[in-house]
Every structure is written in structure tokens, then in C-alpha cells.
Chains A and B, each alone.
Chain A
């Protein structure tokens, strides 16, 4: 997470900013995109943490529960029978 932000700051200080007079300066661009980048990185870590939590739980087969009538969240599902 920090790597992207640090590289942004490091490269940004030496960036060539002579593109066009009306394009926002590096500082303005940085102020706009940094919150977006931080949100994206937090989202990324949140997703990875959620996946890790889900995958580190013992599977249903390990718990000795059959797959046939158990829903994804672990609750029992009504088994419909064909008439």
C-alpha cells in the first residue's frame, strides 16, 4: 500500500511538468488522485482480508456436513422434492 504512495511522491518530485500551461500541476493532480488511490488500496486489502477469513475457516466437508442441504452461509436449506 505504501509502496505506490511513496513511489508517487518520489517520482512526482522529479516529474517533468512542462506539458501544458492549463493542465493541473503535479501537486493538484496528486491531491486529486491520492484519496482515490488510498480508497482503492483499502478496498483491495479489505477484499483480500475477507477472502483470507473465508478460506481459513474449515470447509463443510471437514466439519462433516454434507453439501446437499447446506447453503453457502452454513444455514440449513429446505430441500424441495419433485412431485
Chain B
């Protein structure tokens, strides 16, 4: 059966190139190979988010009068609705964590160095998209917390000169967060961002096939490699199975909650905090003057984006201690600000 199926496609499309690719593709093996699995895991989680997202969209109504009720209906009435929404909720959290780990491991292994500069830029943009997904999806349940957190979020860019107010107005779709904002967030979350994500992820994955996995400079003399097909793919699949098992365990223990429906006339509750992945930005904005905080974060993101072009030593396959320290400083800052935000009431 398998032979006949392969023969069917081979006769029509000539799969010899694909067969050659599968036979020749290998993945380097060294003491840091562990980090290679996070890219595949991120791709797996994105697929899971797409599937659960489509299922949720079948019931969701992007209208302030029905949004909260439609999510409540999914959670309480739709068969296994609680499971699908909880997987989507926890999947988003896992995805952000996995993409962050993938990015920092790529950074510290200097995998952004020539010829993978474009891959790095695409990767950073994909992280931005993932965060945009979480931000736009946050308002959709139309709860008190999601409403007021989004209000803070959409107003943050207005501090920026020139384009700030324009960005805020575009996101709000009016003078305040309301029906237009909900429709815009829903459109962004389900149409615009997925289209962009498919484009960027496809390019990122294609480039990773062209260049293969990068070997860290410290392991450059190691020549060991394993075949991608089937050995590495089976290892990858084992990681996905383990990841999904942990995700299901979290879903069982802590299913996604649904707060009370928002009443926009009421004052914002005290002590609202964003999700864990935005806490370092939140704390930075709270501790420093807004203009300085926004300016510094924007500059840091730009530097992060073009780091392969700044780190000339890595491009020449030389150690670049300065950029390792820079990455470590960014990581320490993000973690410490997140902890501070958690501890501060």
C-alpha cells in the first residue's frame, strides 16, 4: 500500500529530489544539541494553537454583547469546550516560553552568524508575532481583567513621538476600547496575524532547510551528526509527545478560567498585572519615566534585531564575549524585572 502510494506520487511528481534530501539531511550532534529541539517544539505548538483556535472560532462572537457569553458557552456547554479552550490558553503560554528559549539558545550559540542573519531576523519577528497573538487574543473573552489590561496595552504606544497616537487610534478604532477594538483584535488575531505568521514561519523553516543547523563555535571541531530522517524526526516526535503530555497535565490541573464580564463604566480594579511574558515591560514602565522606558525598549529591540550585523567577530567565526555578556545582561534584566513585578503589589 505504502509502496503504491509513493509510486503514485513518484510517477507524477518525481520525488527523487525529496528522497535525496531525506537521505542526506543530518543534524549535528554535540553537547549543546539539546537546544535544537525547541524550534520543532515551537512549530508543533503553533500547529496546536491553529487547530484549537479554529475550533474556538466556530463558537466565538466578536461583539461586546455576546463575546463573554460565547466563551462561557464554550466552557460550560460545548462538549470538551473546556478542554479545547484550556489547551489554547496553556498552549499560548508554553509557546511564548518555548519561543523565548529557542531565541536565547540561538543567541548564545551565536547561530545568527553568517549566513543565517535573515533567519535570525525572521525569528525575532516571529517572536513579536507570537506576543501580538497573545495580546490580541487577551481581549476576546471580554472580561474585566482583559478589558482594562488591553486598555493599558493599547495606550502604551501613545507615549511614543510621531506614530504613537496613530498606533493607539488604529488599535482602538475609536476614542476608547470598545466594540470596534474587539472587532479589530479579533480580525488581527484570526486573519492578519495568522497570514503573516504563515509567511514568516514558512520562510524561517525553508531557510533552516537550506542552511541546516548551526554548530556553536566551541563545538566546531566536532564532526558527529545523526540523520534527520528518521532519527532526529523520531526524537523530535518524542519531545512533542512529552510536551503535549505536560500541556494536558496543566489543562487538567488548572483549566482556563473566565473572569466576570466587563462593565466599562466601572473603575479599573486595583493591582491589574499583565501576563508573565509582558511583566518585564510593565515593570520597566512603572519604574522609569515612560518616554525613557519606551525609548530604551524600542532601541533594545532594534539592536536585538540587527545583532548579526553588529557582531562582526561571530561572523568571522571568532569568539565575541561582548555580545555574550550583552545577551546575558538582557536575560538577567528580563528575569529580575519579571520577579520584581510579581513581588510588588
For B251, the closest partner residue in chain A by CB is A33
Closest Cβ–Cβ distance, residue B271 to chain A (whole Å): 19
B329 at the interface (CB under 8 A from A): no
Q: How many A-B residue pairs have CB under 8 A?
A: 83
Chain A residues with Cβ below 8 Å from B235 are 47-48, 51
Task: Give the secondary structure class of B's interface.
Answer: helix
Residues on A with C-beta less than 8 A from B82 are 23-24, 29
Chain A minimum-CB-distance residue to B245: A40
- 0/1 per residue, A20-32, Cβ < 8 Å to B? 1111101001101
Which B residues are CB-close (under 8 A) to A36? 245, 248
| Of B239, B249, B255, the contact of A37 (CB 8 Å cutoff) | B249
Number of interface residues of B (CB under 8 A): 29
Q: How far is the CA of A12 from the CA of B253 in the complex (A)?
A: 5
Residue of A whose beta carbon sits closest to that of B77:
A22
Q: Which residues of A (50-73) have their CB < 8 Å from a CB of B?
A: 50-51, 54-55, 72
B241: chain A residues within 8 A (beta carbon) = 40-41, 43-44, 47
Docked pose: A29 CA to B234 CA in angstroms: 30
Could you say which residues of chain A place their CB within 8 Å of the CB of B75? 20, 22-23
Check if A51 sits within 8 Å of B83, measured CB to CB.
no
Chain B residues closer than 8 Å to A22, beta-carbon distance: 75-77
Q: How far is it, in angstroms, between the C-alpha of A68 and the C-alpha of B72 when the chains are bound?
A: 61
How far is B77's CA from A21's CA once the two chains are assembled, in angstroms? 11
**Chain A residues within an 8 Å CB radius of B234:** 47-48, 50-51
Residue of B77, B242, B252 touching A29 (CB-CB under 8 A): B252
Among B231, B238, B251, the residue within 8 A (CB) of A44 is: B238
Bound-state Cα–Cα, A29 to B226, Å: 40
Query: Given the complex of chains A and B, what is the CA–CA distance between A12 and B241 in angstroms?
Result: 22
Q: Is B258 an interface residue (CB 8 A)?
A: yes
Cα distance, A11 to B257, chains bound together (Å)? 17
What would 19 more interface pairs be, CB under 8 Å, given A22-B77, A44-B245?
A7-B249, A8-B253, A12-B252, A12-B253, A19-B257, A19-B258, A26-B252, A26-B253, A29-B82, A29-B251, A33-B83, A33-B248, A36-B248, A40-B241, A40-B242, A44-B238, A45-B238, A47-B235, A47-B238
Which residues of chain B have a CB within 8 Å of any CB of chain A? 23, 72, 75-77, 82-83, 226, 230-231, 234-235, 237-239, 241-242, 244-246, 248-249, 251-255, 257-258
Q: Which 9 A-B pairs have the closest CB atoms?
A: A22-B76, A44-B241, A47-B238, A40-B245, A33-B252, A40-B241, A44-B238, A43-B241, A29-B252
